[in-house]
């Protein structure tokens, strides 16, 4: 196949333009020219805009941007805002629960699926299909399933347990946990796929050696296989943490931040202040804080990734 591809380039139809020196120069510049628009876009729309948001966060802007310098007043206001603290502590609860359960469920399912299962491909695609759905669809579905009047509570009542109560969706103490339930449903299959790929990549000569030595299977898993999945744990953690910080749609669809603002996350806080409550400066400050949270999580990951690729 390669041979045919190559011969087509040596065909006499090669561009006559090759003869001019100018074209060589152009050809040398083409790769850079091709990259230039993306490069400029990234420079402006990512880096420039981060800077712009940073500037906005230092101004007293409300409905419209106003470029007077206000120092860190917005950040002070942010950290005096009870709702922001609620959003941060929700992020900790949601992020912790979501990441831990996804990792545990993902690993367990991957190990189970790695036992020479018949119809593995079929089962895997069932576990993964929620990833193809929008968080809005997931939120809508779970909002109905968790509906305190007609949802799970009623189902269990119909089974005969009439004093069963399940109203997390309207309970300010518990509403953030409904977000975990729905988010785990959506993302755990993905973590399973990552772990399964990791399991398939393990060199089985070590495992065989351990078996020859008479080590029982659970010990092999505990001592050899799971420790060698360290990189998968690490990258799954980073991805899930990233999803958690960015979570917005799911909360909007499932609880809309409520009851009250008991299930607010930083992303919904930012949206609400920047776009519906006309507090651009405060919104910008909260967006900058979100960026810092992501940086704190992602930078170690990027660093280790770069180090690994340099050695590899």
Contacts of 199 (CB under 8 A, 6+ apart): 110, 111, 114, 225, 229
Structure tokens, 275: 């776009």
Give the Cβ contact number of residue 292 at 10 Å: 10
Give the Cβ contact number of residue 46 at 10 Å: 10
- Residue 50 makes contact with other proteins by CB under 8 A: yes
Q: Which of 57, 37, 55 is nearest to 45 (CA)?
A: 37
Between residues 208 and 277, which has the closer beta carbon with respect to other proteins?
A: 208
- Residue 88 makes contact with other proteins by CB under 8 A: no
Structure tokens, 77: 């206001």
- Residue 270 makes contact with other proteins by CB under 8 A: yes
Distance, in Å, from the CA atom of 35 to the CA atom of 187, rounded to the nearest integer, reads 34
From the list 101, 110, 179, 290, which residue makes contact with other proteins (rule: CB under 8 A)? 290
Between residues 233 and 262, which has the closer beta carbon with respect to other proteins?
A: 233
Between residues 176 and 274, which has the closer beta carbon with respect to other proteins?
A: 274
Between residues 73 and 141, which has the closer beta carbon with respect to other proteins?
A: 141
Q: Which of 142, 125, 139 is nearest to 192 (CA)?
A: 125
Give min distance, CB of 149 to other proteins, in A: 9
Q: Which of 299, 83, 79, 258 is nearest to 170 (CA)?
A: 258
From the list 67, 79, 85, 150, which residue makes contact with other proteins (rule: CB under 8 A)? 150
In the stretch 103-142, what mask flags binding to other proteins with x, by CB under 8 A? Answer: ------x--xxxxxx-----x-xxxxxxxxxxxxxxxxxx
Binding positions for other proteins, 18-37, rule CB under 8 A: 18, 23, 27, 30-32, 34-35, 37
Helix (H/G/I), strand (E/B), else coil: 13:
coil
| Count of chain residues binding other proteins (CB under 8 A) | 115
- Residue 93 makes contact with other proteins by CB under 8 A: no
Binding positions for other proteins, 156-215, rule CB under 8 A: 157-158, 185, 189-190, 193-194, 197, 199-202, 204, 207-208, 211
């Amino acid at each position: 196949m390669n041979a045919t591809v190559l011969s087509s380039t040596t065909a006499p139809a090669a561009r006559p333009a090759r003869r001019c020196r100018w074209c060589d120069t152009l050809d040398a510049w083409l790769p850079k020219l091709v990259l230039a628009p993306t490069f400029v876009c990234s420079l402006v729309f990512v880096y420039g805009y981060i800077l712009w948001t940073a500037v906005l966060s230092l101004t007293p802007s409300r409905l419209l941007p106003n470029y007077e310098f206000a120092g860190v007043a917005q950040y002070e206001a942010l950290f005096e805002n009870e709702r922001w603290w609620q959003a941060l502590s929700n992020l900790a609860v949601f992020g912790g629960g979501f990441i831990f359960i996804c990792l545990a469920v993902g690993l367990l399912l991957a190990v189970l699926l790695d036992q020479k299962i018949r119809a593995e491909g079929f089962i895997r695609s069932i576990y993964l299909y929620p990833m193809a759905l929008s968080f809005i669809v997931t939120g809508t579905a779970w909002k109905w399933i968790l509906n305190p009047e007609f949802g799970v509570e009623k189902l269990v009542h119909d089974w005969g347990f009439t004093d069963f109560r399940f109203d997390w969706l309207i309970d300010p103490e518990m509403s953030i946990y409904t977000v975990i339930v729905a988010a785990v449903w959506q993302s755990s299959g993905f973590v399973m796929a990552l772990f399964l790929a990791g399991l398939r990549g393990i060199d089985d000569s070590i495992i065989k050696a351990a078996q020859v030595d008479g080590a029982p299977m659970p010990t092999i898993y505990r001592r050899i296989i799971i420790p060698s999945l360290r990189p998968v744990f690490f990258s799954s953690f980073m991805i899930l943490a990233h999803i958690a910080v960015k979570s917005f749609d799911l909360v909007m669809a499932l609880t809309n931040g409520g009851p009250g603002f008991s299930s607010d996350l930083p992303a919904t806080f930012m949206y609400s202040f920047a776009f519906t409550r006309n507090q651009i400066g405060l919104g910008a400050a909260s967006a900058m804080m979100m960026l810092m949270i992501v940086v704190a999580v992602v930078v170690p990951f990027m660093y280790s990734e770069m180090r690994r690729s340099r050695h590899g």
